[in-house]
Structure 1
Amino acid sequence: MAATAAPSKNQGRSGSAERSQPLPLHKYPSLYQVNTRATMHDLSVKLGRSATLDDVSDEYLSSLAQQGFDWVWFLGVWQTGAAARAVSRSHQEWIDEYRQTLGDFTDGDICGSCFAITAYQAHTDFGGNDALARLYKRAHQQGLRLLLDFVPNHTALDHSWLETHPDYYVAGTDEKLQHEPQNYVRLNTSQGPRIFAFGRDPYFAGWPDTLQLNYANPALQAAMRLELLNISEFCDGVRCDMAMLILPDVFERTWGMHPEPFWRKTIDAVRASKAGFLFMAEVYWDLEWTLQQEGFDYTYDKRLYDRLREGHATPVRDHLRADMEFQRKSARFLENHDEPRVAATFTPEMHRAAAIITYLCPGLRFFHDGQFEGRVKRLSVHLGRRPEESTNESIRAFYQQLLKCIHEPAIRDGQWQLLNATPAWVSNWTFESFVCFSWQADGELPFLVVVNYSDHQSQCYLQLPFDTLRSHSVSLQDLMGSAIYERVGDELLSRGLYLDTPAWGFHVFKTTI
């Protein structure tokens, strides 16, 4: 599993990011998200000094690659400032959350949101750009691509643009400040007091540690495009925070101004400079396909997560009927820094069943720091220290086995198809509880994934459209267990594979003849 980052034994002094030969990338890659701040804190305790990105060991990076990960996302590497930290230390609702997470928290644990960015430069506490450049190079040497954050919608309250380019921000008025104090703020600048809008989405109050960027200003768009070009020197891709907020219609609905489209022109410009640079969008409101059409390689699949959390198979199955190009570009997850911990949200049995579906269906397989250990406390992005929690060895063992399945060649690069279940007998309604699909590499026998996604025993016949099974004795080996079943191929093709599975039960069958 993902080991805690240890001190690096390879701290070569490269002053800038160096591009290496492209790494091989699978059709359905896997990504591991690291909480940079919490990792730096853990390393600092271990080392007895302030840790930097140079202290993230090559052994740690290698362990991720050996587990089959293609990407590592270091969340929160960019410079933040005093203004956001002050807001984070004074917002009572957030403080209540900190206290629930860290019973012994102090002001020193509150760093300010890592999304209230003052500059796209690696944080001085983490060693600055030089250390980031070395981390980037070392990740490549271990076979990993590096993903970093891009926050298009807003900046911190104390970003330098407040003084140099106040026109880059959405301005407010005295009237708006009076009627919407949750969305506007008066700040002192070198040019006198000015009113600015907090960054926000149209459905919630503003984020009081940020200022809203004005995408109706072409100069701002050009400046953000340049920021992305600079970021691309230090990584292989970006995860774009709340990417849908700057779509023209969403921006106009929120701010009453209609900007020119940003994403397509910007993505093309970055890729012209750095071929293959990846864009992943955090996106909601059924705008995933829209952003895929704008050029995003991957979009968050919150819809699948929500349907799995509801615990009903039919909506999950229906979701997996989507166009394959849409599914290929979907980032599948069970938790991330925004969502609650899966081990605290799902029962253990439901957790395992949901993980089998999430990470064995097509798309980007997206795992979160602490997920493999069964952590139950979500860490706020305002905090720099995580709570001490014991490892859930049962969950760890489950994910160890699941990762072996995920990285079977057929499941990384093969062909996927949803399979149909039929009633095991007349009036057998439980067949609707199954979510089943297959993976197959060219010229090879299929892998079968079957999940009873319900809280009751269920039965069905699984229809198998694989003529290569005809006239053979077929062996079904469960890669998530120890069972091996022998079946007659002709019967499997004529009637189907009979399944009688307990609540939340699953199998990942490797077929041989």
Structure 2
Amino acid sequence: MAGLIHLLIALMLVSSVVCTDSFPHIFELSARPWLYQLGLKYHKHMMLEDVPDSEIKYYADRGITHIYLLGVWSIGAYGLNHDRTDAGLLADYKNILPDFTTADIIGSPFAVTKYTINPQIGTTSDLKNFRDRLNSFGMKLILDFVPNHSAIDAPTATSNIDLYVHNTPSQSAPFDRSIMTENGVYYGKDKYGYVWTDTAQFNYFNADTVKARTADLFAVAALADGIRCDMAMLAVNEIFSGIWGSTVSTRGYTQPSTEFWQTAIAAIKSRYPDTIFMAEQYWGMGDKLLSLGFDYVYDKEGLYDTLSGLSGGDESSYIWDIKNYVKNTLASGFLDHGAHFIANHDQDRAVYHWGVDWRADLAGMVTFTVPGLRFHWMGQWEGHRNKLDIHLRRQKTEAADEVCVSFYDMLLPILRDHKVFHAKDARIEYVEGSDNDAWKILALRMEHGSEGVLVAINLSKESASASIPLPHVSGAGNVTVKELVSGTAYSRDADTLRNQGLFVEVSSNYLQVFTYTV
């Protein structure tokens, strides 16, 4: 049933969503920490306009197509004071960064007062120029939109309180300050009751709110090539109704017949048709958000959690969980619309999460070779273990992990130099090889134009071999097959490759990538 749903969504997307012809390869930079790091490197106070072209070129040279710049929007004094005085947050900072100072606390990028550029990083002109410079290196810019809430001290929180979920004063029912502000506006929260006490909750059952939020979305789209939408499922009618429906009904609001995302994304794409929409999403809402117009949705509950081994069991169960997830979502079309990552600002560092560097790298082998949006986080390529909290401008200092550095030095050029990894119209097939231990290998056969690539990832702790057919290989007699990780070229009989397959022997928890001519 799930596969059918994914297939129907994929068919709808073909006709309704304007997309580029390549899967994005994204690197996330937290703006203020990045500028702080560059300031230490270049021994000067760094603003966006001061970033050298060489720092931008670094990402282009490694095949990145989009920079997701987190935290460019204006934040207020309320949120900054909140983050510098909240006891729970201060305890977290102490654990993450024992020597933190007040100056290190920079405020949450998700408590936005308005969608204008934070003067701590520059001006609107600086951001436009940064985007132009990215474009000159063949890259594009992705910025945040926070649909669920604004900062407590956003201008609209006092000038137009009806845009928010709020109560009216009552002597018999005084405001509960644990869940709302002094003027009765509720703090933002999720469906599990987690409350963000530095934010004010928008009311998506108010048509005026939908108009105002669409206008904010236009402000972001005017400055970006793509938009990452924070906790996007919170603005979906069924989710909003479950959290706030009974509260807003007391003020006469009922669930609208249309969805915010469907109308807002359509409006944005009518003016900016190439804008990419990426949804942060959980709670199994990916299919729904894709049907409302998103190009990509977080694949956290799918590929990330599967690679994390949350289902438990022995090694064989773990391997089959990964292989079956890739097989089923590739067949349904859902994998193509996943935003695949092993770390970002919400998740722990990859090496910390998987426990050791080689396990994090194994997760990366799968994550960054399957089709879809590939999503990297600052510090990932260096194998950092220490968290970079979004409220802080720096993390605990650590040396680079050479295992991770070597891994990305190997993998990124392969992804960069072979279009088959990025082309949305490539023919991509999940394949099972023959031989006794072939089940240990996740194999994908990718073909685009005359280029063929076979990715073989050994998910087990022992070496494994398989014969994997290449039915579309061209030529007669001996043809060349090149293995990209080692750089070794092999001469193999074309008929044998087509009928019996290419024999591969892959080291434990590693991969081989072969190219051939179609």
Contact 1:214 1:220 (C-alpha < 8 Å) held by counterparts: yes
Match of 1:334 in 2: 342
Change in CA separation of 1:478 and 1:198 when aligned onto 2, cut-off 3 Å? same
Counterpart CA distance in 1 for 2:289 and 2:44 is: 43
Shift of 1:25: 5.3
* Residue-by-residue CA offset, 1:166-202 (whole Å, 9 max, x unaligned): 11111147799989765x1232xxxxxx222211110
2:364 is aligned with 1:355: yes
- Whole-Å Cα distance in 1 between the matches of residues 101 and 158 of structure 2? 32
* Alignment partner, residue 418 of structure 1: 429
1:441 counterpart (442, 448, 467):
448
Question: Secondary structure of 1:366's partner?
Answer: strand
- The corresponding residue for 1:431 is 438
- 2:308 is matched by which residue type in structure 1? R
Does residue 497 of structure 1 match 2:490? Answer: no
Task: Show structure 1 runs of 5+ residues with no match.
Answer: 1-23, 188-193
Q: Which of 198, 210, 213 does residue 199 from structure 2 map onto?
A: 210
The whole-number CA distance in structure 2 between the counterparts of 1:239 and 1:198 is: 22
Which 10-residue stretch deviates more, 459-468 or 324-333?
459-468
TM-score, normalising length: structure 1? 0.87
1:454 alignment partner in structure 2: 460
Percent of residue pairs bearing the same amino acid type:
30
Where does the alignment leave 5 or more consecutive residues of structure 2 unmatched?
1-18, 249-254, 310-314
Aligned to 2:7: none
In the TM superposition, 1:227-242 aligns within 5 A as: 227-242=216-231
Distance 2:433 2:65 in 1: 37
1:273 maps to what in 2? 271
- Distance in structure 2 (CA, Å) of the matches to 1:280 and 1:55: 28
What CA deviation, in whole Å up to 9, does each residue of 1:100-153 have, x standing for no partner? 321210121111211011111110111222222222222222222111110000
The Cα shift of 1:344 comes to: 1.8
Q: 1:129–1:508: structure 2 CA closer, same or farther, 3 Å change rule?
A: same
CA offset digits 1:302-350 (Å, max 9, x no partner): 1111111217222222222224643222211111111111122223222
* 1:53-98 CA-partner distances (Å, limit 9, x unpaired): 1012222222222222211111001111121122222333322321
Decide which moves more: 173-182 or 446-455. 173-182
Tell me which moved more, 227-236 or 74-83. Answer: 227-236
Query: In 2, distance between residues paired with 1:254 and 1:412?
Result: 39
The 3 A distance-change label for structure 1 pair 360 and 178 is farther
Is 1:109 paired with 2:104?
yes
Q: Per-residue deviation at 1:477?
A: 2.2
CA change 1:409–1:420 in 2 (3 A) is closer
Does residue 318 in structure 1 map to residue 320 in structure 2? no
**TM alignment of 1:120-269, pairs within 5 A:** 120-172=115-167, 182=178, 184-187=179-182, 194-256=183-245, 258-259=255-256, 260-269=258-267
Does the CA-based 8 Å contact 1:186-1:195 persist in structure 2?
A: yes
CA offset at residue 48 of structure 1? 5.1
1:468 maps to 2:474: yes
Q: Which residue of 1 aligns with 2:281?
A: 283
What secondary structure is seen at the aligned counterpart in 1 of 2:68?
A: strand
1:63 to 2:58 alignment: yes
**Maintained 8 Å contact 1:84/1:116:** yes
Structure 1 Cα separation of the partners of residues 451 and 115 of structure 2: 48
Q: CA deviation at 1:297?
A: 1.4
Q: Please, which moves more after superposition, 132-141 or 398-407?
A: 132-141
Q: How many Å separate the matches in 2 of 1:334 and 1:186?
A: 37
Q: CA deviation at 1:229?
A: 1.2
Q: Which residue of 2 aligns with 1:391?
A: 400
User: Does residue 366 of structure 2 align to residue 367 of structure 1?
Assistant: no
CA contact (8 A) 2:188 2:199 kept: yes
**Contact map agreement 2:161 2:185 (CA 8 A) in 1:** no
* Whole-angstrom distance in 2 between the partners of 1:315 and 1:195: 48
Code of the aligned partner of 1:354: A
**Shift in CA distance, 332/235, structure 1 to aligned 2, threshold 3 Å:** same
Aligned with 2:218: secondary structure? helix
Q: Secondary structure at the match of 1:118?
A: strand
Aligned residues: 477
Q: What SS does structure 1 have at the residue aligned with 2:396?
A: coil
Q: Which amino acid aligns with 1:251?
A: F
Kept after mapping to 2: 8 A contact 1:447/1:511: yes
Q: Secondary structure at the match of 2:180?
A: strand
- Does the 8 A contact of 2:506 with 2:512 survive in 1? no
What's the offset of the Cα at 1:43? 3.2
1:509 corresponds to: 514
| Structure-1 separation of matches of 2:47 and 2:205 | 38
- Please tell me the residue identity of whatever aligns with 1:446: G
Q: Distance in 1 between matches of 2:135 and 2:344?
A: 24
Contact 1:362 / 1:416 at 8 angstroms: preserved in 2? no
- Whole-Å separation in 1 of the counterparts to 2:463 and 2:108: 45
**Cα 1:477/1:93, change in 2 over 3 Å:** farther
Contact 1:450 1:508 survives alignment (8 Å):
yes
Match of 2:82 among 77, 87, 95: 87
Q: 1:447 is matched by which residue type in structure 2?
A: V
**Partner deviation per Cα, 1:222-257 (whole Å, 9 max, x = no partner):** 011111112222111210001111100011011125
Contact 1:472–1:489 (CA under 8 A) maintained in structure 2:
yes
Per the alignment, residue 38 of structure 2 pairs with 43
Report the Cα distance in structure 2 between the residues aligned to 1:217 and 1:512, rounded to whole angstroms: 57
Whole-Å separation in 2 of the counterparts to 1:204 and 1:417: 42
Structure 2: how far apart are the matches of 1:480 and 1:272? Answer: 43
Counterpart CA distance in 1 for 2:171 and 2:132 is 51
- Residue type of the partner of 1:284? Y
- TM-score w.r.t. structure 2 length? 0.86
Is 1:478 the counterpart of 2:478 in the alignment? no
- The more displaced of 458-467 and 139-148 is 458-467
In the superposition, relative to structure 1, how do residues 275 and 500 fare at CA in structure 2: closer, same or farther (>3 Å)?
closer
Q: Which stretch shows the higher mean deviation, 102-111 or 54-63?
A: 54-63
In structure 1, the residue matched to 2:13 is none
Closer, same or farther: CA 315–39 of 1 in aligned 2, 3 Å: same
C-alpha distance in 2, partners of 1:40/1:175?
Answer: 49
**1:284 Cα shift?**
1.4
Structure 1 residues 44 and 496, CA, compared in 2 at 3 Å: closer, same or farther?
Answer: closer
Distance 1:177 1:151, change over 3 A: farther
